[in-house]
Structure 1
Amino acid sequence: MNLTEALAELKKEPGFTENVGMILIHNGVVRGWSRKDKNTVTAVEVHPDHVKIKALCAEFEKRPGIWRATAKASEGRLVPGDDLLFIIVAGDVRENVKPALADLLDRIKSEAVRKQEIFA
């Protein structure tokens, strides 16, 4: 996902100026170390459920104040520094948008993405 292009397209949609006062973006990247034990990670195998991710985004767009929620997860073997997960949440005010992004991120990570770390 090209974030600059995605934001430009979002801003062209009818209703943007009437509904959006904040856009938050998550750009998850592959870490070079394991969260579990800090061991060096050389790669990760990522298996996203694209249908589930789309469904979660649609669910979050029904929350009060949320106008758009989109996400794209990379797939396959990725190395440290590679983009892993992009999420964009656009809505009215920070009190609605901030928790929506955090909750959507947690739901995608727990329900729609499987990954296996590969060690040196």
Structure 2
Amino acid sequence: MNICELIEKVRRNVDYVKVGMIVCHNGVVRATTRDGRPAEKLKIKKDQEAWDKVLQEMRSRPGIAAVEAYLHEGERKVGEDVLLVVVAGDIRENVFPVLEETVNRLKSEAIKKEETVIVSP
């Protein structure tokens, strides 16, 4: 799955009476950890129940017509896609906050990750 395929999935299934914009997030594996250490890969998996709960809640927000997400589980290398999120809705004041909250909540509530840090000799 790539971001274009996820956007097309949303486009095929939304009611355009309710949609004025589609926004997306395409998270990739960074070459460093948040604290700046060099990293080479990421192992990632999701808690399906938590994942479904977050998406269901985000889909019920005012002005939102669709929320879809995809996680590339398993081992991912630097530069590879990890988390894809697409949100369709009426106006930016409704849609942008839902995109940000969806990404943040999926990462904190439904995704488990393990970074492989490069250790210097």
User: What is the deviation of 1:77?
Assistant: 1.1
Cα distance in 1 for partners of 2:100, 2:8 equals: 23
**Structure 1 segments unaligned to the other structure (5+ residues):** none
How many percent identity over aligned positions? 36
| 1:23 match | 22
Cα RMSD for the two superposed structures: 1.3
Question: For residues 58-111 of structure 1, what are the alpha-carbon distances to aligned partners after superposition, in whole Å with 9 as ceiling and x for unaligned?
Answer: 111110001101111111111100101000010000000000001111100100
Q: Which range moved further: 104-113 or 44-53?
A: 44-53
Cα distance in 1 for partners of 2:104, 2:39 equals: 22
| TM-score normalized by the length of structure 1 | 0.91
Cα distance in 2 for partners of 1:83, 1:18 equals: 32
Q: Secondary structure at the match of 1:39?
A: coil
Question: For residues 19-57 of structure 1, what are the alpha-carbon distances to aligned partners after superposition, in whole Å with 9 as ceiling and x for unaligned?
Answer: 110111000000001112x11101111121233222211
Q: Hey, which bits of structure 1, 4+ residues long, moved more than 4 A?
A: none
Conserved 8 A contact 1:48-1:74: no
**Structure 2 segments unaligned to the other structure (5+ residues):** none
Q: Secondary structure at the match of 1:34?
A: coil
**Number of residues of Structure 1 aligned to a counterpart in Structure 2:** 118
1:89 matched to 2:87: yes
1:109 matched to 2:107: yes
Conserved 8 A contact 2:14-2:66: no
Conserved 8 A contact 1:54-1:70: no
Q: 1:92 to 1:14 in 2, by over 3 A?
A: closer
Q: Secondary structure at the match of 1:19?
A: coil
Q: Match for 2:26: what amino acid?
A: N
Superposed, 1:20-99 pairs within 5 Å as 20-36=19-35, 38-99=36-97
Q: Which range moved further: 44-53 or 57-66?
A: 44-53
